[in-house]
């Protein structure tokens, strides 16, 4: 693949580990690889041993690209260390939420707006997991017939809130099955055998921060803030794989068969849509794969310009690590 690049991965939670996995699986041309976290240790990923160093500004000397895994619900390491890395000539790809809506920082999904990568000043933001899978499916439709209105309900896996939340789902399930009470710690409510419409903090107009991310990030990625978007984000007892029920109203009429064909021909999408044979994507189908899965494609019975999609994706892969590695490949 020609030139090799010195790469740093910052963070070894669920997303950081998935970044290491994606770099290897995609044969990214890595020269030297450094792995940083708050404290030094050894980790094992699929039988490969990695030596984790304690993060420091000096550690970024000689690095070309740094992938920051980002953290849920708190300031990410990129706030402290991205400026130090950039000073040393590193291009930072940040999976945290801190820079996504900064007008100086491109927010990139490679299948949708790859050209935005060129605008970077050393920092590129990776969008929110629920936004990524939705825009991969919506972008081809928007390009073809224009989007007027999007209403999305997302059913988001526990791992989207980090490894502790995924562990809590499993431990709570065990507790309940063995007759003990569940005590939420990593999540705001019991997650085992339950769903709750609360991801992020509640704010403006009663929407959560996660719901506003879906709106504002989609506007930024598609370069169109005239699209009216409303979201409800729901946490469900699934370990990995976000699902979304998306209603869209288009500016122009388009046949459902044409939508299906359009999506089948679009990059990063796999259409699984034959409900009569029981074929539609589920969260389990999306886990561990790169594609965004789309099914249940159907017309609104009362509006020829409107339709429904069911969109599924691995929130740790395309929703985070894979998208970041694809941005690095673009660079």
Flag whether pLDDT at 189 surpasses 90. yes
Domains belonging to the chain, first-starting first, are: 5-126+321-330 (3.40.50.720), 131-314 (3.30.360.10)
pLDDT tens, residue by residue, 276-307: 999 999 999 999 999 999 999 999 999 999 99
pLDDT tens, residue by residue, 160-174: 998 999 999 999 999
Asked if residue 12 lies in contact with residue 52, where contact means CB atoms within 8 angstroms, the answer is yes
Strands 228-235 and 242-250: unpaired
pLDDT tens, residue by residue, 13-26: 999 999 999 999 99
Is 5 catalytic? The answer is no
Q: For the chain, what percent of residues have pLDDT higher than 70? A: 98
Asked if residue 182 lies in contact with residue 175, where contact means CB atoms within 8 angstroms, the answer is yes
Is 198 catalytic? The answer is no
Catalytic residue among 22, 120, 142, 242: 242
Flag whether pLDDT at 184 surpasses 60. yes
pLDDT tens, residue by residue, 227-242: 999 999 999 999 999 9
- Residue 156: per-residue pLDDT: 98
Mean pLDDT, the chain, integer:
96
As a three-state string, the secondary structure of the chain is CCCCEEEEEECCCHHHHHHHHHHHHCCCCEEEEEEEECCCEEEEECCEEEEEEECCHHHHCCCCEEEECCCCCCCCHHHHHHHHHHHCCCEEEECCCCCCCCCCCCECCCCCCHHHHHHCCCEEECCCHHHHHHHHHHHHHHHHHCEEEEEEEEEECHHHHCHHHHHHHHHHHHHHHCCCCCCCCCCCCCCCCCCECCCCCECHHHCEHHHHHHHHHHHHHHCCCCCEEEEEEEECCCCCCEEEEEEEEECCCCCHHHHHHHHHCCCCEEECCEHHHCECCCHHHHCCCCCEEEEEEEEECCEEEEEEEEEEECCCHHHHHHHHHHHHHHC
- Residue 310: per-residue pLDDT: 98
- Residue 72: per-residue pLDDT: 57
- Residue 75: per-residue pLDDT: 73
pLDDT tens, residue by residue, 312-329: 999 999 999 999 999 999
Q: For the chain, what percent of residues have pLDDT higher than 90? A: 95
Distance CA 270, CA 26 (A): 19
pLDDT band at 76 (very low <50, low <70, confident <90, very high): confident
Flag whether pLDDT at 1 surpasses 60. no
Q: Which residues contact 73 (CB under 8 A, 6 or more apart)?
A: 161, 200
Residue 145 Ramachandran class (φ > 0 left, ψ -120 to 50 alpha, else beta):
alpha
- Residue 95: per-residue pLDDT: 95
Catalytic residue among 22, 120, 129, 250: 129
The average pLDDT across 43-57 equals 96
- Residue 204: per-residue pLDDT: 96
Closest by CA to 150, choosing from 99, 240, 204, 224, is 224
- Residue 257: per-residue pLDDT: 96
- Residue 2: per-residue pLDDT: 74
């Amino acid at each position: 693949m020609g030139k090799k690049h010195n790469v740093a991965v910052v963070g070894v939670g669920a997303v950081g580990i998935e970044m290491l996995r994606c770099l290897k699986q995609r044969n990214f041309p890595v020269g030297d690889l450094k792995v940083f976290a708050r404290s030094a240790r050894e980790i094992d990923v699929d039988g490969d041993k990695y030596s984790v160093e304690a993060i420091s500004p000096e550690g970024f000397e000689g690095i070309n690209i740094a992938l920051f895994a980002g953290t849920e619900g708190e300031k990410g390491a990129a706030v402290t260390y991205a400026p130090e890395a950039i000073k040393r000539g590193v291009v930072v790809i940040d999976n945290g939420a801190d820079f996504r809506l900064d007008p100086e920082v491109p927010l990139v999904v490679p299948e949708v707006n790859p050209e935005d990568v060129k605008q970077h000043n050393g920092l590129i933001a990776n969008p929110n997991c629920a936004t990524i899978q939705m825009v991969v499916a919506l972008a081809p439709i928007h390009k073809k017939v224009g989007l007027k209105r999007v209403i999305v309900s997302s059913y988001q896996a526990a791992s989207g809130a980090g490894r502790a939340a995924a562990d809590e789902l499993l431990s709570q399930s065990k507790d309940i099955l063995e007759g003990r009470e569940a005590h939420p710690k990593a999540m705001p409510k019991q997650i085992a055998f339950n769903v709750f419409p609360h991801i992020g903090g509640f704010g403006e107009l009663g929407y959560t921060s996660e719901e506003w991310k879906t709106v504002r990030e989609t506007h930024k990625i598609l370069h169109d803030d005239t699209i009216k978007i409303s979201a409800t984000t729901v946490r469900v007892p699934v370990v990995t794989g976000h699902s979304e029920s998306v209603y869209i109203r288009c500016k122009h009429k388009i046949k459902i068969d044409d939508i299906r064909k359009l999506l089948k021909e679009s990059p990063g999408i796999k259409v699984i849509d034959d409900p009569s044979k029981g074929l539609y994507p589920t969260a389990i189908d999306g886990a561990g794969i790169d594609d965004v899965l789309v099914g249940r494609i159907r017309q609104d019975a009362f509006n020829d310009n409107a339709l429904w999609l069911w969109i599924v994706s691995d929130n740790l892969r395309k929703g985070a690590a894979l998208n970041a590695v694809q941005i690095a490949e673009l660079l």
